[in-house]
Copies of this chain bind each other. A is one copy, B any other.
Amino acid sequence: MTKIGYRFTRPRRLIFEVLEQHIKPVSTQDIFQFLKKRNKYIDLTSIYRTLDLMKKATIVNEIEFGDGKKRYELVKGKNHHHHLVCKNCGDVEDIEIREEKLMKALKIETDFKIEKHTLEFFGLCDKCK
């Protein structure tokens, strides 16, 4: 019988720290470049693998804003929320929504067993409009 356990290694710690230091969701490249600038080189592959792991462990949220790359944010320290994305400058603002209210308003009639949803808003921020 083999033991299973995750190790808290240098790359994982660094990635976690980067996530902690960012309020807005970050991409794999964001993390890579952020660390690189500080002379903390981690292979991109490890970033992908670590985020994948964190996603499965519900440590991070994976978000898509429609520009072909995924972004990640720490789950801890935040309530369930959605995002407002500025089409012009890319600024991201969190918005909290009363999900019960939302789901009640939706009154979805379906045979699907809904497990999760994504809801993102796009527009122009105060500065850009």
Contacts and interface: CB of A to CB of B under 8 A. Distances in A.
Interface of A: 62, 64, 66, 68, 70, 84, 86-87, 93, 95, 97-98, 101-102, 104-106, 108, 110-126, 129
A21 B59 CA distance: 41
Contacts of A104: 105
B119 A117 contact: yes
Given A105-B105, A113-B123, 14 more contacts: A64-B66, A84-B110, A84-B112, A84-B114, A86-B112, A93-B110, A95-B110, A98-B105, A102-B102, A111-B126, A112-B125, A113-B124, A114-B122, A116-B123
Contacts of A121: 108, 112, 114, 116-117
A114 B123 contact: yes
22 contacts: A62-B66, A64-B66, A84-B110, A84-B114, A87-B115, A93-B110, A98-B105, A105-B105, A111-B125, A112-B121, A112-B125, A113-B124, A113-B129, A114-B121, A114-B122, A115-B122, A115-B123, A116-B121, A116-B122, A117-B119, A117-B120, A117-B121
